[in-house]
Amino acid sequence: MKNETLPLRILVVDDDALSRDVIALLLEHAGFVVVTADSGDEAMHYLDNTPGPAPAVVLADIQMPGTSGSSLAHALRDCCGAGTRLLAMSGSSPSEQVVRGFDALLLKPFTIEELTAAIAGTHHSATVAGKSIHEDLTILNENIYERLAASMRRERLQQLYALCLDDIKERIGRMRQTASDIDDATFRREAHAIHGGAGMVGAIELQTLASIMEENGNANHVASLDEFINAWERLRRILMARKII
């Protein structure tokens, strides 16, 4: 009976460091014990080499290098058993085949309420995930920002948004380089990473532009990347005005 009062342990698997950090912070604030992994392969290594019961929940991005999607779900189920709830998350709507084996799907950005509902088993699809985005909030989603501000100390919030800005700027630089090298696959991969991380912190304009770039690849990249850095600057100015950076 005592074990029933212990906080649930959750394994978060995401190759994007910013998304991992935000999700871990939100879950820890909600009272969960969180372990993270940056890939499906690292998650499996952790599970295979960690004694004790399996985590109660595994929350995994489904678009990662290495083992991911339904292959990861099947490997997790074999390792963890039926008692672990498997949750998929994605920055775009995946096919049914990709999420096969997971118990529920969440689209980034999702709220902590949607996440806890998925953990509890009362949220079974992605139809309501991501609906907190308001069309009139084109740069920073106030709902997401306020939830983050309420869930952590101001110093941690400042650190989080500084990490976000630094990460996105570095990725834009790599996208510019890969565009020059005509490396379309890497260009799209960096755009996908920005899409997920920006969405989790409510940077909606950057998330939208990243989604377009991921879909289109490095065609017309010069104009796209110039607009991307302009959007980054607009977000930076908003955060500076709020003394977050």
pLDDT, residue 121, reads 76
Distance from C-alpha of 214 to C-alpha of 188, rounded to nearest angstrom: 5
Q: Does 223 lie in the same domain as 148? A: yes
Q: Does 116 lie in the same domain as 12? A: yes
Q: Mark which of 86, 120, 154 sits at the end of a domain.
A: 120
Q: Does 171 lie in the same domain as 116? A: no
Write the pLDDT tens digit of every residue in 224-245.
Answer: 788 889 899 999 999 998 889 8
For residue 19, tell me if it sits in a domain: yes
Backbone angles phi, psi at 10, to 5 degrees: -125, 130
Q: Does 110 lie in the same domain as 7? A: yes
How many domains in the chain? 2
Write the pLDDT tens digit of every residue in 56-112.
Answer: 999 999 988 899 999 999 999 999 998 899 999 987 778 888 889 999 999 887 878
| Helix, coil or strand: residue 89 | strand
Residue 4 pLDDT > 60: no
pLDDT, residue 222, reads 60
List C-alpha distances in Å: 33 to 74, 122, 189: 24, 20, 30
For residue 137, tell me if it sits in a domain: no
Write the pLDDT tens digit of every residue in 44-69.
Answer: 999 999 998 999 999 999 988 899 99
pLDDT, residue 183, reads 86
pLDDT, residue 129, reads 37
Q: Does 164 lie in the same domain as 70? A: no
pLDDT, residue 206, reads 93
Q: Does 225 lie in the same domain as 158? A: yes
Q: Does 149 lie in the same domain as 113? A: no
Query: In which region does residue 182 sit, left (phi positive, over 0), alpha (psi from -120 to 50) or beta (all else)?
Result: left
Structural domain containing residue 72? 2-120
For residue 191, tell me if it sits in a domain: yes
Under 8 Å between Cβ of 106 and 57: no
Residue 220 sits in a domain whose CATH number is: 1.20.120
pLDDT, residue 227, reads 85
Q: Does 16 lie in the same domain as 105? A: yes
Q: Give residue 5's pLDDT band: very low, low, confident or very high (50, 70, 90).
A: low
Q: Does 32 lie in the same domain as 83? A: yes
Q: Does 175 lie in the same domain as 107? A: no
pLDDT, residue 232, reads 94
Write the pLDDT tens digit of every residue in 191-217.
Answer: 988 988 898 899 999 998 998 888 888
pLDDT, residue 219, reads 66
Q: Does 93 lie in the same domain as 7? A: yes
Which of 109, 143, 145 has the alpha carbon at shortest distance from 128? Answer: 109
For residue 23, tell me if it sits in a domain: yes
List C-alpha distances in Å: 22 to 1, 3, 19, 228: 32, 27, 5, 22
For residue 188, tell me if it sits in a domain: yes
For residue 47, tell me if it sits in a domain: yes
For residue 133, tell me if it sits in a domain: no
Q: Does 104 lie in the same domain as 168? A: no
For residue 135, tell me if it sits in a domain: no
pLDDT, residue 177, reads 86
Classify residue 48 as exposed, middle or buried by CB count within 10 Å of its CB (0-12, 13-18, 19+).
Answer: exposed
Q: Give residue 133's pLDDT band: very low, low, confident or very high (50, 70, 90).
A: very low
Residue 30 sits in a domain whose CATH number is: 3.40.50.2300
